[in-house]
Structure 1
Amino acid sequence: MSHLIFALGVLLLMFASSLAGLALARLLPSHHLSKDSAKAIRLAIGLVATIAALVLGFLISSAKSSFDAINNDLVHNAANMIRLDGTLAQYGAEAQPLRATLRRDYGEWIDLLVARGSARAAGLDSPGIILRMEQFEHDVAMLAPKDDHQRALRARALAIADDVFASRSLALLQRGGSLPQALMFVLVFWLAIIFGTFGVLAPRNASVIVAFLACALCASGAVFLILEMDTPLDGIVRVSIGAMRDALARMGGV
């Protein structure tokens, strides 16, 4: 919700800047808006617009990369959960309690990811998650292999478990986003200047005002998508957990 509010604020700021530019044009002496003056202003603001477009494209690309990285991590995690459960199943009856624990903890993890509100944040940040990961790895290490086959399966299970928990910890660390806030505020400032300059140079009629509103809406929508994709575990635009649910459904089988 905070991202939506920020995007609405950006929309209002840019639209207000364009209206302020239209109002300012009435107060300026005529020679300030002469053909030569307008040409110079367009050249100057064109440079700012080009820089803003490059930064906007960079932020969209960076946010999309963060979104895809988290999504791939969760899919990889789901695949490893199936591998880990299968490895424990091959180990034998001694590992059945561990498989039950694994399936229960994974189901709770999925529920936390899809939940919303303060309870979700508290659950994801709970030290108990780390302790349960460590306890599970300890229990796997404490298995007593009876032959070389079980010994190899235990070593494989430990390696997969370490990979699973590492990717889960990585997803938690990345959920806050990596977008520099200062860069976003500077971009918004540039956009406000650009829209204000457009207002100064544009004719004053209803069509121009509607066009400014539409352009401001598009630009604020881009800002909204950047913020949402930069935090793929929160907000409205979130990574899919379909692969995780499929993995959970396949775990625990014979």
Structure 2
Amino acid sequence: MKARRSSPRASRCCARGGPAPDRNRLLRRSALRRGARQGLHAHFSARRRCIHEIIISCLTFVSAFGAALVGLVLRRRLPEHHFEDHPRDVGKLVMGLVATLAALVLGLLIASTKSFYDTQTAELQSLSVKIVGLDRVLGEYGTAAGPARAELRRVVEEGYRRLAGTPDAASIHLARGEAAPAIIAMRQLVRALPAETDAQRQLRGSAVQLAGEIVDTRLLMSEQVNASLNWPFVLVLVFWISVLFLGFGLYTPANATVVAALLMGAVSVASAMFLIDEMSRPYEGLIRVSAAPLQLALMQMGQ
């Protein structure tokens, strides 16, 4: 059998008495590979969500404008007795009922998603205020709170980088609860602070309370982000809008002005659906929650 030849690098390491592989270097490479895989996953996931928004908007536009064109064609094909006074009045009554239902549901969806977006913004602002308060309490505590204070700043910096970075990274960060272990570890450091005087015990109690509120707010934001729109509800709304545009085309003489008006109406409804889909995911897409509260918190920390 041939003797196994060792690499020059391994020989040099053995000659110096050190280990052949560098464990820390291997761990860094493994972390880089995991980061690269997460980055690729975030990239493709963001593309899928962007395509999803475009599909919903295009489906709404095609359904509405296509139904209007079908109505215009049917008006030419159907006999004239279908458009006499009584059939026309019944059709307009049904259109009024469907228009009322569609307007109420569309307004409800827009108001609901806007309220969700505003809630996430307010909770992020509240979280930033609590972070600054906890940092100041730890600063008053003294040098013993240095590790907890440094861990708090590291967690906030990581959260700010995610929110200010790629949209999908911020969404995955909240939806998967990736920062929860770091926040909980920070809370454990706060709880482990030594308290020798009454003032330190009071400060530790305040710090533990603020740390608990930070963890609760973070988990609440994560649970709210995981909730999604009721898409069967949205599909029923698209069906109502299509029926409404079908009636518009059926009871309106065809000309360029009518077609242009129906086109603008379909574009308006499709844009409303796009806004609903955008605001239902406040950490992705074009309409995102601003990371300014965390940036202001970082500027005030350590003072």
* Superposition TM-score, scaled by structure 1 size: 0.93
Matched, 1:228 2:283: no
Structure 1 counterpart of 2:88: 38
- Give 1:117 deviation, angstroms: 6.0
Q: In structure 1, what is the Cα distance between the partners aligned to 2:291 and 2:258? A: 44
Q: Deviations over 1:123-178 (max 9, x none)?
A: 44556522222211111111101201111111111110111111111111112344
Q: Which amino acid aligns with 1:191?
A: I
Q: Which amino acid aligns with 2:214?
A: V
Q: Is the 8 A contact 1:177 1:231 kept in 2?
A: no
* Superposition TM-score, scaled by structure 2 size: 0.79
Q: In structure 1, what is the Cα distance between the partners aligned to 2:167 and 2:104? A: 35
Q: Unpaired runs of 5+ in structure 1?
A: none
Q: In structure 2, what is the Cα distance between the partners aligned to 1:7 and 1:123? A: 27
CA RMSD of aligned residues (A): 1.7
Q: 1:243 to 1:94 in 2, by over 3 A?
A: same
Equivalences for residues 120-199 of structure 1 within 5 A: 120-126=170-176, 128-199=178-249
- Give 1:28 deviation, angstroms: 0.9
Q: Is the 8 A contact 2:167 2:285 kept in 1?
A: no
SS of match in other structure, 2:290: coil
Q: Is the 8 A contact 1:17 1:192 kept in 2?
A: yes
Q: In structure 1, what is the Cα distance between the partners aligned to 2:68 and 2:175? A: 43
Structure 1 counterpart of 2:298: 248
- Give 1:252 deviation, angstroms: 2.0
Equivalences for residues 68-83 of structure 1 within 5 A: 68-83=118-133
- Give 1:23 deviation, angstroms: 1.0
- Give 1:4 deviation, angstroms: 3.4
Matched, 1:21 2:71: yes
Q: In structure 1, what is the Cα distance between the partners aligned to 2:158 and 2:247? A: 53
Q: Is the 8 A contact 2:174 2:221 kept in 1?
A: no
Q: Which runs of 4+ in 1 moved over 6 A?
A: none
Q: In structure 2, what is the Cα distance between the partners aligned to 1:44 and 1:14? A: 17
- Give 1:196 deviation, angstroms: 0.9
Structure 1 counterpart of 2:32: none
Matched, 1:90 2:140: yes
- Give 1:10 deviation, angstroms: 0.9
Q: 1:213 to 1:236 in 2, by over 3 A?
A: same
**How many residues of Structure 1 are paired with residues of Structure 2 in the alignment?**
253
Q: Deviations over 1:12-57 (max 9, x none)?
A: 2211111111111111111112232111100111111111111111
Q: Which amino acid aligns with 1:171?
A: M
Q: 1:58 to 1:98 in 2, by over 3 A?
A: same
Structure 2 counterpart of 1:4: 54
Q: Is the 8 A contact 1:145 1:154 kept in 2?
A: yes
Q: Unpaired runs of 5+ in structure 2?
A: 1-49
Q: Which amino acid aligns with 1:112?
A: R
Q: Which has the larger radius of gyration?
A: 2
